[in-house]
Amino acid sequence: MFIEERHQAILGILSEQGRISIGEIQEQFGVSVDSARRDLRLMEEQGLLKRTHGGAIPLLQVATGKPPKTTPKDIVEIKENYLAVAQRAVSEICMNDVVFIISATVGYFMLQNLPEHLRIRIVTNSIVLAEELRTRDNISVILLGGEMDQKGNCYDGFAVNMIRELRFDKCFLTAACISAEFGLSIQHSSAKAFWNAVIDSSKKAYGLFPTEKIGIDSIVSICPASRLDTLITDWDAPEEELKKFDELGIEVVVVEKEAD
């Protein structure tokens, strides 16, 4: 197989699976680990993919971001790294904390992994997350109001004004992408004021960003990455990108993959 054919095959696997590892390339194409790494380096230089710690993921285009999945019926696939990031984030919550949790896939996974003994107050702008918490005796919920979007979230001026009257011990946020240069970024500007208000009202801000969102820019910058106190990511995150966040003074927490 010519190298160009192998690269096309690698892109096909990325399209189907959303990621590929060095080991998979070795096994699939019968090449050495050095050859597999060289393939990924060359493809990254051509703008075809983004290398990670142990392989590669598809290169997201700026204008193709998708809205976050926020409802149980939307979450048809439990990504191992998303779940691991969410579980690590839950471990940061202490008894009697007041926390804001993002209405996104990783936020939903956080709710699913909250210990039953943990008495806390959760603030959310999502009716979906609020409904998930409604019957939990150990959790008090503050639901932010305003004009609701199709995902059941409120981001408008009413919600912003409510946020400004509250204070959180911790907030747990994500966005379409994050990079050291462009910060947290999203596809639309409508939620920018809301997310900045959440950070302003928080004693400590956590960014929950699985590998797929690291080192990439979307259209609209919410705020500089340095507004985060802690960045939680997973084992595949590229070390060169994480080093940039560390240089900004952000605590970087890398969740290790569980052994099979």
pLDDT digits (tens, 9 = 90+) for 43-55: 887 878 888 878 8
**What are the residue ranges of helices labelled H in 91-227?**
105-112, 127-133, 157-164, 192-200
What pLDDT score does 19 carry? Answer: 83
pTM greater than 0.85: no
What pLDDT score does 260 carry? Answer: 60
What pLDDT score does 251 carry? Answer: 97
192 Cβ neighbours under 8 A, 6+ residues apart: 186, 220, 222
What pLDDT score does 85 carry? Answer: 96
Residues in the chain with pLDDT values less than 50? 62-71, 73, 75-76
Task: Give bridge partners of residue 252 from the DSSP assignment.
Answer: 231
156 Cβ neighbours under 8 A, 6+ residues apart: 146, 147, 190, 194
What pLDDT score does 69 carry? Answer: 45
Cβ count near 80 (within 10 Å)? 13
CA distance 68 to 65: 9
What pLDDT score does 58 carry? Answer: 80
What pLDDT score does 60 carry? Answer: 63
What pLDDT score does 63 carry? Answer: 38
Catalogue all structural domains in the chain, each as residue range(s) with its CATH number.
3-59 (1.10.10.10), 80-255 (3.40.50.1360)
Query: From its phi and psi, is residue 205 left (phi > 0), alpha (psi between -120 and 50) or beta?
Result: beta
What pLDDT score does 51 carry? Answer: 82
Residues in the chain: 260
Average of per-residue pLDDT values in the chain: 88
